[in-house]
Amino acid sequence: MDQSRIDFLRESLGSDPDNAFLHYALAMEFVNAGRNQEAWQEFEHLLTHLPDYAATYYQAGKLLVRLGRNAHARQVLSTGIEVTRKQGNLHAQSELEAALEELPIAD
């Protein structure tokens, strides 16, 4: 983990709290550091406050699967499919559909 990147992203969010990319980048830094709860908090912020940021859905879904929260992952991925469909983002939509199909049926 590179704490300096985390510190930089947190500082940047202080002056630009609605920047979806900064929240996403911070979430990914936490994922890479194995700090899953902090990563989820950033993803949850994006899902709640900046729901049009399409990249969130795939990575949040992957994190939820790693945490054994398959039902929640299914919900996040399904919502992401709808968001990307409305945006006309076929590439992201197909990635989300593939991730959803790979989920185990039972939790």
pLDDT digits (tens, 9 = 90+) for 33-89: 999 999 999 999 999 999 999 999 999 999 999 999 999 999 999 999 999 999 999
Pairwise CA distance, residues 30 & 37, whole Å: 8
Choose the weakest-confidence range: 11-25, 58-72, 92-106: 92-106
The domain spans of the chain are 3-102
Cα 102 to Cα 47: distance, rounded to the nearest angstrom? 22
Q: What is the pTM of this model?
A: 0.91
What band does 96 get if pLDDT is binned at 50, 70 and 90? Answer: very high
The dihedral sign for the CA sequence 47, 80, 15, 11: positive
CATH superfamily of 3-102: Tetratricopeptide repeat domain (1.25.40.10)
pLDDT at 33: 94
- Contact assessment for residue 27 and residue 19, using Cβ atoms and an 8 Å cutoff: no
